[in-house]
Amino acid sequence: MRFTLILFYILLLSPPAIKAQAKEPLLNNHEHYGNQLLSVVTDFSIKKTAIKKNELVILTYNVRNCRGLDNKTDYIRVADIIKRINPHLVAIQELDSATQRSGGVVVLDVLASETKMYPVYGASIPYQGGKYGVGILSREKPLKWRSVPLPGREENRSVLIVEFENYIFCSTHFSLTEEDRLKSVEILNSLFIGSPKAVFLAGDFNAPPESEVLTNLQTRWQLLNNPADPTIPADNPRRCIDFIFRFKTENTSTIIQKSIVEKEPVASDHLPVWVKVAFF
């Protein structure tokens, strides 16, 4: 009887061998966690790579045909400013192309040659035997482009649209008349609905941040530069009328890394404005 009781307690207190064998080895748990960690690290690395791939430095500059406040026309001076900023994209306003005023010079071509960038020109009006309008310089070779007329009762206006592999970039110069500017906003707000690519817009909008023009524009466009930084007049800046935007779409984001207004009080009557952004 005593032997039976002792045997019973031994069996009761000892864990079954089958249960011990059924437990998952601890090493497998570590391997599983390691795989999860590797996945996180890989995702993070992919995102960092994507940020670098989708980073852009965007400059907008109303160059006044490269005629400075010292009344000297100096293409090299403006080109040197662009080179120092080293942008991927430049929206340029007030450009002569082979006019009598510019002595037959195609101004954008001179800037392109000096900066080693691709030029695309958009004429807004014929002028003095040539043309007058806006332009774009880019590091990347454009795929295609078009110019869309915008209203301007003192002179016709336009927006130049240039498409690249991963994005679209636009340069514009709005009218001096409020009614024309508001109509231009309506056109731009409807042009890019459904675009599969990121769309950026830059230029001289002839309207301050608190205006109805900017308010209406921002229903569809995200403002990227700091509107508190004035851009005109260059020698004593008091107002901001030069802006850079991205068209708003679902499931996209833009990280604004820098917003700079350069101190260039002589080269033009406007200051150059640029941003550095990452976009997804």
Q: What is the CATH number of the domain that holds 213?
A: 3.60.10.10
Q: What is the pLDDT of residue 33?
A: 27
Would you say residue 224 lies in a domain? Answer: yes
For residue 1, being part of any structural domain is answered with: no
| Residue 5, domain member (yes or no) | no
| Nearest one of 236, 206, 167 to 62, comparing CA atoms | 206
Residue 11's pLDDT is 42
Two structure tokens written together for 173? 């110069």
Do the domain assignments include residue 38? no
Q: How far is CA 136 from CA 42, 160, 237, 268, 270, in A?
A: 37, 8, 24, 17, 17
**Cα maximum dimension of the chain:** 125
Within a domain: 148: yes
How many CB atoms within 10 Å of residue 167? 20
| Enclosing H/E stretch for 27 | helix 26-53
What pLDDT was estimated at residue 2?
44
Q: Which two tokens stand for residue 146?
A: 């078009």
Q: Note whether residue 181 is domain-resident.
A: yes
Q: Is residue 23 part of a domain?
A: no
Burial of 83 (0-12, 13-18, 19+ CB in 10 A): middle
pLDDT computed for residue 69 by the predictor? 98
The reply to whether 16 falls in a domain is no
Low-confidence ranges of the chain (pLDDT < 70): 1-53
What pLDDT score was predicted for residue 52? Answer: 60
The pLDDT value recorded for residue 251 is 85
Instruction: State the total domains in the chain.
Output: 1
Separation of alpha carbons 159 and 144, rounded Å: 14
Instruction: Kindly list the strands in the beta sheet with 157-163, ordered across the sheet, starting from the edge strand earlier in the chain.
Output: 144-150, 157-163, 167-173, 198-204, 242-247, 221-223
Domain carrying residue 261: 56-279
**Where would I find the H helices in 192-263?**
212-217
pLDDT at 156: 97
What would the pLDDT profile of 153-187 be if each residue is shown by its tens digit?
999 999 999 999 999 999 999 999 999 999 999 99
